[in-house]
Amino acid sequence: MRHFTVHHDGVTIPVSRGGRGRPLVLCPGLNSTQADLHELAGLLRLDHDVVTFDLRGHGLASAADRYAFESFLSDLSAVMAELGRLDPDAAPVLVGYSLGADLAVHYASEHPGTVAGLVLIDGANPVPEPFITEADLPEFRAMWEDLATRLEAERGTERQVLLTAQEILELNVEIDVVRSGILGRYRKIDQPIRMIMSRSMAGDSGERPALRFNRNWRAGVERLVREQPHIATSSLDADHRLVFTHAPHIAQIIRSAREVQPGRRTS
């Protein structure tokens, strides 16, 4: 394993690299760190040269004055620029989880030719309806406040998240806006794309909010595939934590991605 840092925009981004094979960059999502993704990264290192990193305010990255989608996108762009400097002739596969998937789509749409392909894990979904409506705000605010309290126990560790509950809530609202226009981003990408999506994004409790969220999530995938039939999709019987609960299955899908024909759906 090799470790180095990328300095940009007043923040320090820790990067880890290891393994052998074709290069692959693994981008975490909101409230997740490269330490959280250690199982998936370890499996991918068996046949990939894997690069992992922490977004600002997460893990071992430094805090920032502002947390917004464009700020996180600049973190990914800075890491990719450094890799391009180190290996100018080796375009990596870019894998993103949750928010990391959205960042991957935006990066690839703005930097043609710099990635060999995309793997999007339960994110970058053009859902037809926003997830967080005005009526949902109190419930989500309480949920993120509870999460922020639980994350206090991780302060000072490689799994820490420095964002406040309000910052997390505001980011989720912003992500809804970003996803409302993400179909246009997909149209600009020529590289192969595979999506690995959960069947029950919000869990399978059977309660009305979860049913609505899950239905909206599935509708987004169906919408994308109708417009972009070349995108290969896989669905797992899991919730949004699939990257932690189904790491071996996800690693196998990524490992075999080059063998899957565009437009093919697998389970």
Question: What domains can be seen in the chain, in order of their start residue?
Answer: 2-128+180-266 (3.40.50.1820)
Give the pLDDT score at 208.
79
| Whole-Å CA distances, 143 to 73, 140, 148, 166, 190 | 25, 5, 9, 11, 38
Give the pLDDT score at 258.
60
Give the pLDDT score at 65.
92
Nearest one of 207, 158, 199 to 28, comparing CA atoms: 158
| Whole-Å CA distances, 21 to 50, 76, 88, 112, 117 | 9, 21, 16, 22, 15
Q: What is the pTM of this model?
A: 0.95
Nearest one of 28, 9, 27, 30 to 176, comparing CA atoms: 30
Angle at 137 between CA 207 and CA 150, to 5 degrees: 80
Write the DSSP string, 100-145.
HHHHHHHHHHHSTTS-SEEEEES-----SS-S--GGGHHHHHHHHH
Distance CA 74, CA 51 (A): 17
Q: Residue 199 carries which DSSP code?
A: S
pLDDT less than 70: residues of the chain:
258-267
Give the pLDDT score at 209.
84
Nearest one of 118, 163, 108, 121 to 29, comparing CA atoms: 121
Structure-derived torsion over alpha carbons of residues 109, 111, 117, 120, reported in degrees to the nearest 10: -50
Q: Strand pairing partners for 87? A: none
Q: Is 108 left (phi over 0), alpha (psi -120 to 50) or beta?
A: alpha
**Hey, what are 45's tokens?**
């290192």
For residue range 75-124, list pLDDT tens digits in order: 999 999 999 999 988 999 999 999 999 999 999 999 999 999 999 999 99
Give the pLDDT score at 264.
40
Average model confidence (pLDDT) for the chain? 93
